Structure 1
């Protein structure tokens, strides 16, 4: 008769010796798979089994349940169907794990155990287990789920009893990275932020570059976290180096990246470098690879920094250019014009960027007379308008309904060799359609196609909307049908909403409902605006059953009602005594399971 197997590992934290008897490591593995609290999460059923050792002695089991016999040579594939009667302790699970043959171990077995150890603060045991997984010749190397567990614990390491020292993080990330396991962008950013917050910029730098070197995914957010830490310590050389590396590795910076750089440079009164970064953002003097538009926060940051420096230094062309661009960017045109006049009186010569910024800002603000004055000054200075400037001027004149100036701009574009683009044509089509000049709008669309430009969803939407505004719903439907049949441009929710609303207002509710069905067929998701328009229509036509059906669809689509929806339904259903249906709808239940006999 074989002696009972007794296992005692000094690494484990337990007060009594644990004695367990198994005939093989396969049976031990089945015991490990039975751990419910600390082990495998994929075990969804609680079952009771008696494990029979080679001497037919039973382990202690729960006598309140039936005891089917478990044979030790059951295949491993069936392990997750065989759970223990009583969940053993975590110490027992570790004992069983270390008894297993290496070939029986896998990341799938290790990960839940590792997670439990870390959760309970048993970092020594967890790291011992992880070290085995990270060995170069390990039979059970880590996988992505291992990474989620470890990196998730690292970002929480500031809790008492958790995690490892900052200095060990880079080594651990390196070892996992060598197995192809990397932190995701969110966790990498958190780790870098924590290291920088602890004034460990060197470690944060090493961590980011380790992930880069090993081939992990690095995005702007992680670089931004490091830039923030470097900026706090005024490490501008490293900030510039990291920014250059981002360009080299095609890590596209965000507007936040530029905001961090400009903010820290301005605070350090390194205004020329800040302006250089701002020029790079705008792609000045080189082919832009960035594709980022400055936002109000960035403009304000630049304005604040420039104004502080400007109080001590005489203004120069570069400073004035940045200030004018920044104030135009935040729609403070009066301040921009003030600096423009000051720039001229100080003898500084504005460049094309200054003129373009002013023209764009004035046009967007609707100050077309002032914009025209700036255009004249631009031409006297020897500059010409580019396509973007022409487009913003045409848009401004369209909004002011100055058709003659629109045609003047178009003729000038043709004379100077600046070809209209899709933005130009969309602006014209929208303007002509709203003005009711459908014949000219159609001609513009045909010319656009002839020029090799394909109409976009914006083009079709502009024409359809213009027709609906002029109560030419049939014409709008013709364009819609042409769009669906001959073009490669699928209609979107906005176009459907325009048509459905127009049809309902034109008392053609049945066709509006059929368009909603068409949306479902084509996979276009309706929104609250869609439902509001058609619910209003079926209410006016007293189509109660269709109203209930639409309410059910709204629930199924998880489309939340707004105050317009509630106003329509409350008024309608209260008047016909169906307020209970409204309550069901508000609570997220179907309302048409018991159809009402009322058709009022």
Structure 2
């Protein structure tokens, strides 16, 4: 049976349905679209089949007599999809609608305007690129004059297709913006974190007498929190409360998390208790944000008190909270508690440890030096899908545990499994090769990645070479990296300067020190004190005065040992007095010292200066790298 005769036979019934006394238009349209679909007629292949065109034209025409609701649009969307499949472009669809002679598109904005209804169908279908093309075609070819409603649809589609600048321009040129105009603009600008634009549009909206809806309020609050605009978030929260908007647990949690991130713990805890007073119960996510913040601020007892409160409320920790506890407890030195948290997690039936859990546990093992637990961890997680982060952590753990062979085996396994090494993988490989005394292989690996290496890798190779006593090789590689202008940080310079000083190459150390400053890097306290000790030993008064002046300008604290060495040089007493006034001497020195203008009297007062000088000479001449741990702490 042909569909077209059936469709035309129904037009009489549809005409009656459009009269005010009939209310079954929705049913009729549903019959049209359903029958067309259920007959499974491939209408897009039939040249003369206009069923869907007629259906769409009737829907548009019927808007003169009946206001369409969302379900009506949902029923017409399949018709639009089939027409789009057949005719490809909205221009062709509109042209064919005119060709069947059932509908003439007005040039002026009449109410209802079938153009607007057509745009609304496209928007409801989520075909935003098609809506933009249709809008442009209607304006250019049919003389369509868009009203606020049309501009709102266009703006929303432009935002959703990542054309935010054009969308914002549409907003600014909308002549009579309404609630939806502001709400759409603010919602999308908030999701894009355009802070300044959000604030400006919100002010315009409030001055006009409109308020965002709850969804948009939440989007604005999230945006403010993401850019750490705490004061604006507070104001927005007050506005929401003033308007009687019931704040959800997610809203409270977002702003509490922001306060924690900004280390405003007093504000965060006040918000937490205000949340409870309003009758909103905190979630595990809320407690996790506070517990993590207290742990990171070394307020462990407060964090554990919150944890007990959470458990008393009947809330069960999730995997994220367990991971936070393991990581934070180990960082504050509570290794037993961190391991106990892992054991509690292991007993849970509905929660399984992930790679993040085991990565944090490996950190606990390394910090506590309990490397005997490494085999157990490897055994437990052998069936887990290991990611690159966990493998890198295990690689580093093997090196620190003195098992470089296992580290090299793990690196080979990572490559075999198809994991792409990153800089941390390379660092682990370099450290393992140097620990195995395979220096040439380590240098070859470094040369293979040097073009893409960051400061961390440069620091590691020089540190590891220095640990093996290869001072000249470390200095040579670093000198080449400096000439090539590879990225180098102050830690890398500190490591190599220390190596040069240890090997007696003070002139080269001075050149590198000057180059470091020329590169815009600030020498740290260790570099200054190492250089100063060396030049005290060489009795270079000019360099001593230069270094002391630079330390004063940079507000660098003088080490106790250097202080006693400097007491031998009268030219330094003026600088020492200034350092005292600026608080650049240790509490020990300030407590015991009564400044005297004469170096000899100071020397007599502190008879143990000679012992200190002797001790420092031993440190400088030693080939051990133990005393370098502070300098290279970030790379070990």
TM-score, L = length of structure 2:
0.47
TM-score, L = length of structure 1:
0.49
Instruction: Find the structure with the greater CA-based Rg.
Output: 2
